[in-house]
Structure formats: C-alpha cells, structure tokens
Structure 1
Amino acid sequence: MAGSRAKKEEAYDAGSLTVLEGLDAVRKRPGMYIGTTDSQGLMHCLWEIIDNSVDEALAGACDEITVILHDDGSIEVDDNGRGIPVDVEPKTGLSGVEVVMTKLHAGAKFGNASYTAVGGLHGVGSSVVNALSSRLDVEVDRDGKTHRMQFHQGHPGVYEDADPTRPSPDATFRRTRKNRPTVLQVVGSVPKRRTGTRVRYWADPEIFNDTARFDYNQLIDRVRQTSFLVPGLKITVIDENIPETGDPAHDEFMEVDGDRAHTPAGPLDGQEAGSRSGNEAADRSEGQDGVEEEAPAEDGAPAWGTQEEATQEEATQEEFQEESPDWTGDGADGDQAAQALGISPIRQERHRRVEEFLHTGGVVDFVDFLSKGEPVSSIWHISGEGSYEEETQRVGADGELHAEKVRRTCGVDIALRWINDYDTTVRSFVNVVETPGGGMHVDGFLNAITRQVRKNVEANARRLKVNLKDSRSKVERDDVMAGLVAVVTVRIAEPQFQGQTKDVLGTAQVKPIVTRMTDGQFGEMISGSKRGFKEQSERVLEKIVGEMHARIQARKTKEVTRRKNALESASMPAKLSDSMPGNDDIAELFIVEGDSALGTAKAARNSMFQALLPIRGKILNVQKASLTQMLTNKECASIIQVVGAGSGSSFDITQARYNKVIMMTDADVDGAHIRILLLTLFYRYMRPLIEYGHVYAAVPPLHRIALAGKHKGEFIYTYSDDELEGRLADLRERHIDYNPDVQRYKGLGEMDADQLADTTMDPRTRMLRRIRMEDAEQAAGIFPLLMGDDVPPRKQFIVDNAEDFDRSKIDT
C-alpha cells in the first residue's frame, strides 16, 4: 500500500501542469521582462512608460512630456500625444486602453503603420508595469472627453478612494468580473483638439525587493539624454517630495540634500488637480456593469525608500520646525498671526522642484554636453538614411501571421569629436533607447573610423613620423578611441534587441549602412578634403599617432621596467639611484630638483627603500605639448620608465614599482612651478597615481634657528616667514637664547645630509603632503585653464581670484 501511494504522489500527468493566464506570468517571473527586481528593475518600469510617450514624439504627435514624482510613492507620466485608443478592439471586444494595459504583445507598434521608429517595440511595456504595480491609473484625453481606467496588480476595476485628490492603492477595489470587458469611465471634458495620455502607478512592494530604491539623478540623466535625442521635445520633471516652508531661505535649507535617492512625491495641485478629480463621485456611478465587490487591496507600497528614511525626513521637519519660530500650522489662526507680523504665511506643505529640458541641436548638443576637457577638434556630424530588406511577420486580413519581405529605412545620426585626453565616451541609441552594450550600429561606426584613420595615417606617414616598415607601427582601435566623445544613433522600424532590456542592437542590416555612411562622410573630414577640416584632421591624426606611440612605448616599458631581479635595474636610466629590490610595498621614489640636491639626498636617504631620480630644472609642460613631444622628452620619458606602470590608457597601477612618488623641490616659487609641471604629467598620463593617493610633495623647511645657552646644539625648523616670526617671539617670551643669525635655505643643496634626512626624508621625522583629487571634473577644468595655451582665460582667472588669494594654501 505504501508503495502504491508513493507512486500516486509522484505521478506526472497533465494535471501537474500550471497555466498562468494574462499578466500572472509577469508577476511570477518579473525578471524575464524587467531584468531584476531591485533598483534597476524599478527604474526600468519607469523607462517603459516614458518610452511610450517618447514614441509618440518620434511619430510627430507629441512635443511635451511631464514626469511627476508624488509623495506617496507613485509616479505619473503625462504626454500630449494622440492618446491611447478608447474605442473597442474588434478581436478581443475590449477597449484599446484595456488591451494595451492587460495584453502582452499588444499595441499599434505591431501594425507598422502608426509608428515607424519606436523604443517600446515588444508591446509588453505598459502591461508589464501594470502587472508589477499595486495600483495603476490611466487617463486618456480623446474626442473631447477624459477617459479613465484603474487596475490592481494588473486586474481592471474601480478604486473607491476616500479622498479623490489622494488616491491610494489601499483603497477599496471593485474588480471587474472575469472575462467581461471593463467600461471606460468618463471623468471630465476637454477641448476636442486636446489629446494625451496620463499614467500613474504605484510599484508593488510584493514584487520589488528591499534594496529597490528610486534614483532621481538617474531619472534626470535619462530625461536629459532623451531631450538631446528628440530635438524640440520638452520634458518636465516635477518632484513634489521636498518639504516647503514658504520661506525661500528655509526652502533652500531643505533642498541641500540633492544627492540622495529621492522618494517620488505629492499629489496634483491647483486647477490641474481639480480638472482631473472633479465630479469623480458622480462619474464613478457610470459604467459599473460587471463590477463586483472585492476585499480591500493588500497594503500598498510606501514611498520608495526605507522606513528609516521616512522617519528621518519627519524628524528633520520637526527639528526644523523647532528652530523656526515663524513656523505655523495650516489653520487660519496661523495665517493671521503670520500676516500680523508682516510676513507670508508659512505652511507645512510640499514644494515642487521643477526641472525642464528642451534642446534643438540634437546629437551635436549632446556631444558638446559630454565633452569634458580641451577639444582637439570641433564636433563632426554624420547623418543620412539607408535602406535594407528584412523578412518579418505581418498580421494578414485573416488575423494570421504571414512571412513578408519589407523595405526598411535606417536613419543615421552621429556626432563625434576628440578631446585632449585618453578616456573614451561613446553613447549609442536606437530610437532614443540607449544600448549600453553597443551592437551593430556601434560596430559599423568604429570599424569605419578605424579604417579611415589607418588609411590617412599611411597617406601622411612622413609628416606624422610613422615608420610603415615597422609592423608594430599600426594604428589600433584603442588608439582611435582614446579621447573620443561620440553619440551614435539610428532610427529603424522593429529593431531586434538582445532581450527585453534592449542593451544590444542585433539588427545585422544596420551595420553595413552605418559603415558605408561613416566611411563616406568621416572619410572626407579626416582626410581634410572637406572644407574647413584640414587643420582639425591634422590635429586628430597627430593625437591618434601619439596614442599609438604611447601604447608601443608602454609595452616596451613594461618589458624592461618590471623589477624581478637585480639585473633589471641596469635597464633603468643611468641617473636613477634605485633602492634595494624586495621592498616594493614600502618603496619610495624621490624626484629631486638638481644635481646638487641629489648629492645631499644620496647621503640622507635609506637606500633599502628610497630611490632618487634627479631632473634638470623645469620639465616639459605636457598640457601644451603633444603626446609625441612628451614621449620624446628625456625627463618625462625617464619618469614614466622609472615608475614602470606605463602611461595614458595603458597605465596599470598594479605594475608601479614604488608605493610613494615624492616630489622634492626647493621651497621657492621655482620649486612650486616644477611641482605643478610634474603634477600635470601625472594627471595627464599617470592619473591613477593621484587618484589612489600615491603622489606626495616633500615639505623642506625655509629656516633653521640654532638655539644657544643651555639648549646649544638644538635646532628649530620653520616653514614660512610667519611661522619664523612666531617662533622667535615665543623664544624671546620664554627667555630662550638663540643665534640671531637665522639660516635661510635657498635650496635643498644648502642642507647637509643630516638636516635633509631629519626634515624631509626620514619617515620618522619628516612631513609630506599627499596630493588628492577630490573633484575629478574640477581638476579636468583647472589643468587646461592654468597650464594650457589659452592665456586670456588664465589671466582673467587670476584677476577674479586675486582678492581671495590665501598664501596658506600654497606649499611654498
């Protein structure tokens, strides 16, 4: 009996199969549709709704989109497009709104007529967001009316909100009976010419995990890039989650925390709120056929963010309330009291932060925005159209799918420039949807520019000093991409992506079109045959050839500078006084100014872990020089070779031979200038040394006070004139004798070995200043300003900041 019972329990037949209907499959396997259920998936839901509105803009039917972040955790996207169809779809018998919101792979983008280039092409975006929301409300303006439909976890029905101006997923929900169409509610009237769609949804906490956070900055970045890619489209982001006091100074105080992950915010206010919620109670009585009572929906999502964050925000408001004697409640008494004091009433309400984005220059403006650094070329623009054939499945008159060959049009729009840097910024898009993984359009673009650059380098080999007989002297893609800033966009109907998240474009026919178009237009630019491009193309080719030489030199450097045994140091520059091998974790390289200081430093150093490399005066200003000039400069090449980690994009900090690189120069203006020149070299070509805190400035003293009397033989070192005066005054006050002939060091060479060791080189007694780069973007702007070729901006900078000059900030 036991054996037969076990067999029955293990039976596998048709009864073991589970059929998930409608959107239940989405809730069961959300990762198939939005990738993850953490912050990335949470943001992906918003992209799907925004993309639907952007598709209306691409179709020429929309020029304004508004994204509202409400304080109850919901997000609303409003556009003035054509509006989702509200008539009945014949095949299903459902309204167009219900079809779009509840049926997977349904929408106008499969018919190939209403949309020619779209971002949301799979027809699952709105329905997936609906399935993963605890509540979703959609309103459509069409035919002079405002139509509304509501959903709970993807199921249509009607919410009975206690306060229509504060809708909630916790309100009682009356679900439409199964297999019966939901009648659209008519909740208002609008001018007949006004059309548009509003979608407001509350992400379901049953789906998204505890780590899911809404990222306001990511939203702003996405909206900004969309405004670049769709010229003329105005996108407004309204964040209603900022507490308001009514006092601009107080409001500014409340907005300082701009970098945290904002919780979406507040209800519609003013006339707009009234137009959407007016007559709501009366309207709810319409179209109730087929609606049955259902238990209240389960607890809805709190504002996205942890409870701790919400509590912290409340505590902040309470604390601010205690500090502000003018803070009043919402009552009339408070308003009257405020008016009696001659001030505006201060209310504990919400403040709308509004950010608007509108660009007309397209990808050219986008590249200009992305360019951070000194430009080598102006922005080059490639655009045009090509066509290709593709076999696709079309819905025939019988409702069945049939294979059919169609002629597609591919629009290409590319902007690019080079800047004087080695970082690469290439952003790619298909129908305004970003493809972080690139794809066929990016491959076609990079193949074409690499081929054209190689062709023109070979044609100008003599001028560029390229030895064509050397097999290593061949431009590679990495050389071309160093310092490249580009935006690559294509617009095609029904693009093929790798997965619903659309990270990589897979439509193979796009690649030859982009390649051919780039070959022709970029070829004219880089060859200088197009008017106005000759000088720019020469600069670009010189930069790329310089990157090639740097890569070759870095490879050589790695081969000869990695110290594995004592014999390897023989390949180092002859003037290097190296440290003993085996101490790489504490090894220090002192870059010393002048031969006289080198002699003293040799006697002062600990040769077990301290190495010395002398330089002759002021090295080359690499901010003004080309990469080729830098590599041929003896001093710069020696420093790169001795550090041993390469340069530019090939720099590998794990291969650095020293833990500290210390600039040891005289404590005067010339010494400070040499330090700046060295820092410019490190920043431009060995930046990770600064980023990871391996670059230091030695701090040698300016004066030596010799004590007398019972303190004879003791010395005090000072590092500035002000410190000297203070020390001398202190000695006089304490009646300590000293030699009035205070020694003033004119350079490191004036010290003897013991003095240099005690004050500057011995880790037990010295003082070092670590060079930090707290703000990379500010550093990227200040180096070209102070060290570049353009003199007027530098002069103006000095004039503007002369009054704020602080000598204590200078290490002289």
Structure 2
Amino acid sequence: MSEEQSKKGGYGADSIQALEGMEHVRMRPSMYIGDVGIRGLHHLVYEVVDNSIDEALAGHCDRIEVTILEGDGIRVSDNGRGIPVGLHAKEKVSALEVVMTKIGAGGKFDKDSYKVSGGLHGVGVSVVNALSRHLEAEVHREGKIWRQEYERGKTLYAVKEDGVSNENGTTVTFFPDPQIFDQLTYNYDTLAARMRELAYLNKGITVTIIDEREKDEEGNFKQNVFYSEEGLSEFVKFLDESREALIEEVIHIEGEKSGIPVEVAMIYNTSYAENLHSYVNNINTHEGGTHLSGFRRGLTGTLKKYAEESGMLDKLKFEIAGDDFREGLTAVVSVKVAEPQFEGQTKTKLGNREVNAPVSQAVSEMLTDYLEEHPKDARRIIEKVILAATARHAARKAREMVQRKNVLTGGGLPGKLADCSSKDPAESEVYLVEGDSAGGTAKQGRDRHFQAIMPLRGKILNVEKAMQHKIFENEEIKNIYTALGVRVGTEDDERALNLEKLRYHKIIIMCDADVDGSHIETLILTFFFRYMKELIEKGYVYIATPPLYQVKKGKRSEYAWNDDQRDRLIMDMKGSGSDSSVSVQRYKGLGEMNAEQLWDTTMNPEFRTLRQVQIENAMESDRTFSMLMGDEVAPRREFIEKNAKYANIDT
C-alpha cells in the first residue's frame, strides 16, 4: 500500500499526529524519562523498543534486536512495517521527521493504527532523539531504504532515499547526550531482564540482545535470545525456579472479557512470600491498580467458597483474611487496555475501573475449573491458606507484644542503640553495624548530632525461610523495628508499614568487607525487601563502603576501595623516589580501623561514598533474594560462579 493510498485501518503518513513541541525536553528531561541517572539512561532504550513492541501487538513484527554499541550507543531493529516516510499533511515534512522531532507524535495516538500501545507516557522516540547527541533512523519500507540523522533532536538533513530493500522494518541508532546524563554506561543485565520480560509478555516474538563491548574467548559478542511459546506460564516457572512448588502445574487463562484481553498465570510454592507482578500493555504497574484488585477479588472469593464448601475451615477458630490466600503465591497478571489511565506517585498504577470486573471474572472461572479438576492440589492450597492464617494470628500477637512494649517503656529504644541528639528525621541517620566491636568504634568516631549507631549481634534471621511470627520474635529484628520507630499493620492491611514515626531518613548498613560481612548485608537487605520495602522505595536505605586497603609509604597514607586503586597508589608511591618499601594493609573487618580512620573513610559525609539501595526491577530482585536465601543449592552455586569475578572472595 503506497503512502497516497493510506486509508482507515492502514498505517500511513496521516496516521501520525503531532501533539506538542519538544522545547522542554532538554531543559526538563526528568519530566519525560524519570531522571537523568542510570534509570533514565535505560528508559531511552525501553521507549525505542516500545515502538517495536507496538508493531508486534498490531501483528506486524515478530523480531526485535537490541545491540549495545561501543561508545555507549544503542541500536534497535525490528521487522515491522517501517515508520511512514510520506509527506505529513499538517506538518508538511516527512512523517518520519514528525515522529522523530515532535513530542507525542506517533501512530500510537491514532486508534485506527494501534488498538493498544505500550510506552508509559507516550513520549516515544522523539524524547530519545532530543536527549541523544546523535541519532540515526533507517526505515525499510515499500522496497526502499529511507534515512535521516539528528543531533540533539535537530535534523541534519531531510529524509532521503538511500537504496533498495526487499524487507520492511525500522532501525534506530542513538548515543545518549553526555550534556544530559550523569553516566552513560549501559548495564547488560538490566536491559536483558527487560527484554526477557517482553518476550514472556508477548509470546511468539524473538527478542535478541547483543553486547558489542564484550567478546568471549572465541571472539563472539555476548548475547541472549529470548523467545516464549507459552507466554505467562513460562514466565511464572522462570520466576519460581528457585522455589519448591506446592502444586504440580501452572494455573493459566487467556482470553477476552468484556472486550479486554486478559492473561493470568499463577502457581503456589512452599515459601511465605507473596510475589505478584501486573502489567498493562507491557508496562510493569509496580503500584498495582484495578487489574490487580480484580485478580485479588477473584482469587479470594473463589478459594474461600471452595474452602468453605469442602468443610476444611470448620475447625478454624478465627477468620481467614485476603493475605492468607496469597502467601506462597507467584502470579503474573497482564491486560491490554486501549486507553489506560495511570495514577500513583510514579504513574504506574492502573486507574481504569472497567478493568476490575473482567479480570475478577476471568480468575474466578479459571480457578473454579482448576480446583474441580485437581482436588489433590486444591487441598494443598487450602491447607497452605489455613497454615498462613494460623501463622498470621500468631504474628499479630508477636507484633502487638513488640509494639506494646514500646508504648509501656516510653519509647522503648533498644539498649544497644546509641542515638543521635537531633530529632529531625530528615537530617538523622542510623548505622546498622555488624558486631559490638565495630559498633563501639563507630560510636567513638561518629558525629553525635545526627549519626546514631545500632550494633547487630551476629547474623540476623533469614526471613526468606521463616514464618512471620518467628520474625517478630527475633531479638535483632525487633530491635531494628523499635530503633527505626516504624509500626506494622493498619486497619486495612496487617502487613502495611506505617512510617509516620520513622526516626531516620538514612538507614546505612555497615558490614565488614569479607564473605561474612557480605552475608550479613544480604540477610539485612532480604529483611528490608520482604518486610520494609517502602523504606527502599522511598530511598532511605544505603550501604556504607569502607575501604579495602590502606597503602603507606613513610608518612604518606592513602586508602583504596578496589584493587585498581590499590595498584595505582603502589605504583605512584614507588615512583616517588623515597627509599622506604611500600606497605599495604587489607582491611577485612571494620574493627581493624580506629575511630578516626572509620570517620575519615566511611562516615564523614564530606568524603564517604554511600550506595543507595534501589529496586530497578522488582521481579529480578525477588528472583535473586529467593535464589540466594532459599533452599535450592544449584541455582545459588551457578549465580556465585557466574558473579565470582565481582565478589571479594577471601582465600
């Protein structure tokens, strides 16, 4: 079909609508991509890939390739129809130029071209163009190759014909602008996780990621090819691969309800964590929304009805809550909505009311059929629910004991906590320090005005393998709750975290730089991720980075945080001309430093380096914690072997 023959239902130049200009993009990039750090950098890739996924959703593309180039560039290719290149009636330039240079321009705003569309804000590739020092668009369409290049969003020349082609598709190559971004290095694993996710969410599409910055011993570039035949069923198996399954197979449904495409896959495992992931048009809705509410309603209502009719609840002396039905559940809910409305702090909460009932109905039908056809699995699920309810009842009592103790003792701060004098949470920080010895050094070295020290004795409980009431009975965890001033449980949600009386806005984990220290760090992070995730999401959790080495020569003394820094210091000191042999001290424990050294290197805000803990991908974080802290040995061994080069393995 030629550009001139474009008509309703086609995809031609007139399908492209320009909504507004690009003036503010470079001035206010965070409004469009979230931030100008590592997240925003990766968001550029997702925006371009979303265009290709839209073509796949419309049935015109089944291959997408993402390549990380030398020099911090990205190339995204697909075999879709190719962006239209004909003259745009309103803008009087090529439709390709409109797509690339007008904010909000694209076929996704034309209902006849795309029924549903990804891309969270619909900002699309034009924002990527504005925030790139250089971008090239290459279109294969109608037997020809078309090309246009841009610098910082401005065209270098008009769209030109550049050869012939018997294929269709679009290739976008861009280099992020160093004037905009704090850092320019792409993380392969972060991009690969999103590409894998997209392959599961869009079965039948091959998504390839290649890293041209790295070759193996045979000279091949690092790469992964993601393809899913079963979609969400495979996704759920992948998410749960390091957990012990409670039931024999994944429960799955796919179809349309009230005109809304709904796909759900779920499985129960023997863990105590609830692991739900929801998507709208491939967008991960971290804050949930009406589709997740519909899923929970359908799940709870159906399971409760079955449990009551089976007589299994007859001897239970207390009410079962919605949470109990979701303990040990891993589920993915995916819906496609023509005009999604997003709410919430990060615009990742679905607000469309009309989605709730169709999802609830789909889940109810799916579960009813499954429970009738699998009575053995049904019984296991209800037994798990009863166990969860019993544990929750015990946890409530344990939690009330912790919180009642706080009230009765007038604040009830743990005796080991050396508090700061400031009462302003915004300027106060608490160090969770491994061991009483290092805790004592930290107490001597700190600034008492705003720095509190909380020593932790030994390794805290592994919450990945513990029931909830055991967690509230654990002394070290109780001390963390009371020291921070947070409360657990509201009228609506027994697991919700109440941060109104949070006493510190910086919670800093400070452990030894050895294997034991890393293990304790991981145990604490697992606890925060499972039971205090809001603290991480609000940016309150940090990891201290004490130095690994002290390099000395004569009166000169310097610190090194990695092997490269150490080697450079040794070379520098050796070349300084003095006769004395350079000495190197490897710090394995915080206690090996005196108070002044600990302050200078690790606690002084002027010189220290704190790593803020962020959840880039909740799905990947969940898999990692369950794999590292769960019962399955094989995946953990494989992970450690793969990442050993990044770890400080003591010999």
The TM-score bracket by the shorter chain reads: 0.5 to 0.7
Say whether the 8 Å CA contact 2:47–2:119 is kept in structure 1: yes
Written as runs of structure 1 = structure 2, the 5 A alignment for 1:331-342 is: none
Indicate yes or no: 2:375 matched with 1:375.
no
Give the paired residue count: 434
For residues 149-196 of structure 1, give each alpha carbon's deviation from its aligned partner in whole angstroms, at most 9, with x where no partner exists. 0111111114xxxxxxxxxxxxxxxxxxxxxxx2x22222112xx100
Task: Give the equivalent residue in structure 2 for 1:511.
Answer: 356
Q: Taking structure 1 as the reference length, what is the TM-score of the superposition?
A: 0.49
Residues 697-740 of structure 1, C-alpha deviation per residue, up to 9 Å, x if partnerless?
xxxxxxxxxxxxxxxxxxxxxxxxxxxxxxxxxxxxxxxxxxxx
Amino acid at match of 1:513: P
Which residue pairs with 2:29 in the alignment? 30
Q: 1:211 to 1:138 in 2, by over 3 A?
A: closer
Give the conservation status (yes or no) of the 8 Å contact 2:33–2:43.
Answer: yes
Q: Which residue of 2 aligns with 1:644?
A: 473
Cα distance change of structure 1 residues 232 and 458 upon mapping to structure 2, 3 Å threshold = same
Q: Distance in 1 between matches of 2:199 and 2:172?
A: 20
- Aligned mates of 1:644, 1:57 — CA distance in 2: 51
What amino acid maps onto 1:382 in structure 2? I
| Structure 1 contact 137–201 (Cα < 8 Å) conserved | yes
Equivalent residue of 1:232, what SS? Answer: coil
1:242-391 alignment runs, 5 A limit: 242=214, 247-248=217-218, 351-371=220-240, 372-377=242-247, 378-387=249-258
CA distance, structure 2, for counterparts of residue 414 and residue 154 of structure 1: 40
Q: Do residues 425 (structure 1) and 275 (structure 2) align?
A: yes
Compute the displacement of 1:502 (Å): 5.0
Aligned to 2:179: 206
Inter-partner Cα distance in structure 2 for 1:366 and 1:116: 24
How far does residue 564 in structure 1 lie from its aligned partner after superposition? 5.7
Q: Report % sequence identity.
A: 36
Contact 1:464 1:545 in 2 (8 A): no
What is residue 240 of structure 1 aligned with on the other side? 212
Pick aligned residue for 2:396 from 550, 555, 558 = 555
Q: 2:161 maps to what in 1?
A: 186
Q: SS where residue 349 of structure 2 aligns?
A: coil
Answer whether contact 2:282 2:334 (CA < 8 A) is retained.
Answer: yes
1:406-805 → structure 2 map (5 Å cutoff):
409-462=259-312, 465-467=315-317, 473-498=318-343, 503-525=348-370, 528-529=371-372, 531=373, 533-559=374-400, 640=470, 644-645=473-474, 654=480, 691-692=523-524, 777=627, 780-782=630-632
CA 48–476 in structure 1, closer or farther in 2 if over 3 Å, else same? same
Q: Give the C-alpha shift of residue 455 in structure 1.
A: 2.6
Assess, with a 3 A threshold, how the Cα gap between structure 1 residues 652 and 223 changes in structure 2: closer, same or farther. farther
* Distance in 1 separating the partners of 2:215 and 2:362: 52
Q: 2:101 corresponds to which residue?
A: 102
Query: Does the 8 Å contact 1:448/1:518 carry over to 2?
Result: yes
1:416–1:485: 8 Å Cα contact kept in structure 2? yes
Q: Which amino acid aligns with 2:245?
A: P
Give distance in 1, aligned partners of 2:274 and 2:478.
17
Shift of 1:656: 10
CA distance in 2, matches of 1:129, 1:655: 43
Shift of 1:211: 4.8
2:534 is aligned to none
1:500–1:86: structure 2 CA closer, same or farther, 3 Å change rule?
farther
1:360 partner amino acid: E
* DSSP-derived class of the 2:26 partner: helix
- Where do 5+ consecutive residues of structure 2 fail to align? 1-19, 418-463, 484-518, 526-623, 636-651
Residue 543 of structure 1 deviates from its aligned partner by 0.4
Shift of 1:215: 2.1
How far the C-alpha of 1:464 sits from its partner, in A, is 6.3
Q: Distance in 1 between matches of 2:346 and 2:33?
A: 6
1:644 touches 1:656 (CA, 8 Å); kept in 2? no
Query: Residue 25 of structure 1 aligns to a residue in which SS?
Result: coil
Post-superposition offset of 1:43: 1.0
Kindly name which structure, 1 or 2, has the bigger radius of gyration based on alpha carbons. Answer: 1
1:644 counterpart letter in structure 2: E
Q: How does 1:142-157 map to 2 (within 5 A)?
A: 142-157=141-156
Letter in 2 for 1:691: L
1:559 to partner: Cα distance: 4.5
CA contact (8 A) 1:230 1:362 kept: yes
The superposition leaves residues 295-335 of structure 1 with CA deviations (integer Å, 9 ceiling, x where unpaired) of: xxxxxxxxxxxxxxxxxxxxxxxxxxxxxxxxxxxxxxxxx
Shift of 1:231: 0.9
Q: Residue 88 of structure 1: SS of its match in structure 2?
A: coil
Verify the 8 A CA contact 2:144 2:165 in the aligned structure 1.
yes
For residues 438-493 of structure 1, give each alpha carbon's deviation from its aligned partner in whole angstroms, at most 9, with x where no partner exists: 111111111221222333333344566313xxxxx222222222111000000121
Q: 2:195 aligns with which of 206, 211, 223?
A: 223
- Aligned-pair CA distance for 1:776: 5.6
Between the aligned partners of 1:421 and 1:189, the Cα distance in structure 2 is 57
d(CA) in 2 for partners of 1:559, 1:499: 31
2:277·2:331 contact (CA, 8 Å) conserved in 1?
yes
Q: Helix, strand or coil for the counterpart of 1:26?
A: coil
Contact 1:645 1:654 in 2 (8 A): no
The equivalent residue for 2:117 is 118
Find the counterpart in structure 1 of residue 40 from structure 2: 41
The aligned amino acid for 1:358 is: Y
Q: How far apart, CA to CA, are the structure 2 residues paired with 1:782 and 1:112? A: 48
The 1-side partners of 2:353 and 2:143 are apart by 45
The C-alpha deviation readout for 1:271-304, integer Å capped at 9, x for no partner, is: xxxxxxxxxxxxxxxxxxxxxxxxxxxxxxxxxx
Q: Is the 8 A contact 1:76 1:201 kept in 2?
A: yes
Please show how residues 66-77 of structure 1 align to structure 2 within 5 Å.
Answer: 66-77=65-76
The separation in 2 between residues aligned to 1:155 and 1:479, in whole angstroms, is 56
Contact 1:457/1:464 (<8 A) preserved: no
CA contact (8 A) 2:215 2:222 kept: no
Verify the 8 A CA contact 1:142 1:195 in the aligned structure 2.
yes
1:61, CA displacement in angstroms? 0.6
**Distance in structure 2 (CA, Å) of the matches to 1:124 and 1:438:** 22
Q: Residue type of the partner of 1:375?
A: A
Q: Secondary structure at the match of 2:339?
A: coil
Say if 1:560 and 1:58 are closer, same or farther in 2 by CA, change over 3 A: closer
CA distance in 2, matches of 1:146, 1:77: 16
Structure 2 counterpart SS, 1:27: coil
Deviations 1:80-115 (A, max 9, x none): 000001111112211110111112222222221121
Q: In 2, are the aligned partners of 1:653 and 1:688 still within 8 Å (CA)?
A: no
CA contact (8 A) 1:382 1:522 kept: no
